[in-house]
Amino acid sequence: MSMRRFATATGGLLATLLAVSIVSFLLIALLPGDLALVILSDAATPERVAALRQELGLDQPIWVRYLTWLGNLLQGNFGNSIHSGEPTLEVILSRLPVTIELILLTQLLALVIAIPLAIWSAYRRGSAFDHATLMFCLVKLSLPSFVLALGLIYVFALQLGWLPATGFVSLEEGLRDNIESMILPVTALALTEAPIYLRLLRSEMVSTLQQNYISLARGMGLPTWRILIQNALRPSSLNLITVVGVNMGRLMGGAIIIETMFALPGIGQLLVESVYQQEYLMTQGIVLFVGVMFIVINLLTDLVYAVVDPRLLRDAGA
């Protein structure tokens, strides 16, 4: 990659991070009313309100407050919880493993469902299997994840009693119990993501299977499975990689409902708790953290994209 392109990409990344920081700051700074009075609520006294306003810098101009806040961020200081006094970043990081496990398992299950169905559906385009697959996608896309989650809880937790309805067991407490506690939330999210991947990959595969090199591979007598997996899947998966990366960033902050429904102590549930408890600094930190993670995940997606198709690296260096 040329220095000019590298500088442009780095500048764009820094500009995006700066924009995320500004939005995160203004999210709390522009709330109506006196933030110190809202935080203290019934415990507010003139002296405590004045002290908190000084502690939070609310007596300073908004641009001074932003620069001070940004300077603290660059030192890894996201502020402290108003009620517990715990560092905000430490609290977020303590909840992060749960959300990461939920996202990774969701994406893995969604891809396990979507890829085989998409490959075979593209190969058997126009068949009854293909129509049934597309109907499955249409039905699933019309069902929100929380509706599906309620159905899964009713059937597998309440009626059959096979799986816990709520709660989380960490890996340290046991692999089996951890998996059992994640099956229902992961399934609810994966069955929502899988149709998106399935339709996208099927469409790309249908186009790829019409290319001349696929006809050449067939003429050479290569087995069908090899043509589908080695010759057609790889060039058809580039857009899928992009969408998976974007969805991982989206799920980082979008699993709020599922984490709340299943009582998973992840970042989504922490955000809900922060709003209810009027932990505005914690809310601000979570929004910023999720925004930064979204950008980082998309950057990593671009790198994976280039590894899958090395031509992108050569083009970038041109």
DSSP string covering 65-126: HHHHHHHHHHTT---B-TTT--BHHHHHHHHHHHHHHHHHHHHHHHHHHHHHHHHHHHHTTT
Residues 278 and 309 in one domain: yes
Residue 318 pLDDT greater than 50, yes or no: no
State both tokens at 269.
């549930």
Helix and strand element counts for the chain (H, E): 16, 0
Helix H segments across 153-279?
A: 175-208, 212-219, 224-226, 234-236, 238-254, 256-261, 267-276
Q: Which long-range contacts (CB under 8 A, 24 or more apart) does 157-162 make?
A: 157/184
pLDDT digits (tens, 9 = 90+) for 104-130: 999 999 999 999 998 888 888 888 888
Q: Domain for residue 164, yes or no?
A: yes
DSSP-derived letter for residue 33 is: S
Residues 29 and 102 in one domain: no
pLDDT digits (tens, 9 = 90+) for 225-273: 777 877 777 778 778 888 888 788 778 766 788 888 888 888 888 888 8
Domain-terminating residue out of 43, 74, 105: 74
pLDDT digits (tens, 9 = 90+) for 54-80: 776 777 778 888 888 888 888 877 777
pLDDT number for residue 316: 47
Question: What is the CATH number for 260?
Answer: 1.10.3720.10
Residues 114 and 45 in one domain: no
In three-state secondary structure terms, 59 is coil
DSSP-derived letter for residue 165 is: S
The pTM for the full model equals 0.80
State both tokens at 308.
């899958």
Per the structure, the complete domain to which residue 23 belongs is given by 3-74
pLDDT category, 102, cuts 50, 70, 90? very high
State the total domains in the chain.
Answer: 2
Residues 247 and 289 in one domain: yes
Q: Domain for residue 91, yes or no?
A: no
pLDDT number for residue 32: 66
Q: Domain for residue 89, yes or no?
A: no
Among candidates 233, 226, 5, 285, which has minimal Cα distance to 116?
233
Residues 60 and 177 in one domain: no
Residue 1 pLDDT greater than 60, yes or no: no
State both tokens at 96.
């992060």
Percent of all residues in the chain with a pLDDT value above 90, rounded to a whole number: 9
* Residues 6 or more apart in contact with residue 154 via CB below 8 angstroms: none
Residue 166 pLDDT greater than 80, yes or no: yes
Q: Domain for residue 85, yes or no?
A: no
pLDDT number for residue 6: 56
CB-neighbour burial class of residue 210 (10 A; exposed 0-12, middle 13-18, buried 19+): exposed
